[in-house]
């Protein structure tokens, strides 16, 4: 299986900050990388697919980049509603989909 490792596991930030979350794959996955946001007690929501494509309806302050093994999710200016847990997920292997362990974004 392809292992996905996110860093950091948690971080504290303030409204208006620029935040970057990193996801690393154990082998090259080209651009087969998606990002999800999950708020407590809610289902995850797709933010970014194919490493850098913004899902319809998602604010433009969210962006994704990377290819191969290293990827980033950037929030350009944190808003109060962005405090949540973020997961990366690889879709390179159709036989086994894997998620990162999650990054919890908290208010400083």
- Note the residues at the interface with another protein (CB under 8 A): 1, 30-32, 34, 36, 38, 42-46, 49-50, 53, 55, 87, 89, 91, 94-102
Q: How far is the CB of 20 from another protein (least distance, A)?
A: 20
Chain centroid to CA 63: how far?
9
Q: How far is CA 78 from CA 6, 25, 28, 68, 91, in A?
A: 19, 26, 30, 27, 27
Nearer to another protein, 17 or 92 (CB): 92
17 or 69: whose CB is closer to another protein?
A: 69
Distance CA 93, CA 108 (A): 37
Closest CB to another protein among residues 66, 102 = 102
């Amino acid at each position: 299986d392809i292992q996905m490792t996110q860093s950091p596991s948690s971080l504290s930030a303030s409204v208006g900050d620029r935040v970057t979350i990193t996801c690393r794959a154990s082998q090259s996955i080209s651009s087969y990388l998606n990002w999800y946001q999950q708020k407590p007690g809610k289902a995850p929501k797709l933010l970014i697919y194919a490493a850098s494509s913004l899902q319809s309806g998602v604010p433009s302050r969210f962006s994704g980049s990377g290819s191969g093994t290293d990827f980033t999710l950037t929030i350009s200016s944190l808003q109060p509603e962005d405090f949540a847990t973020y997961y990366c997920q690889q879709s390179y292997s159709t036989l086994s989909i894997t998620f990162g362990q999650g990054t919890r974004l908290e208010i400083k």
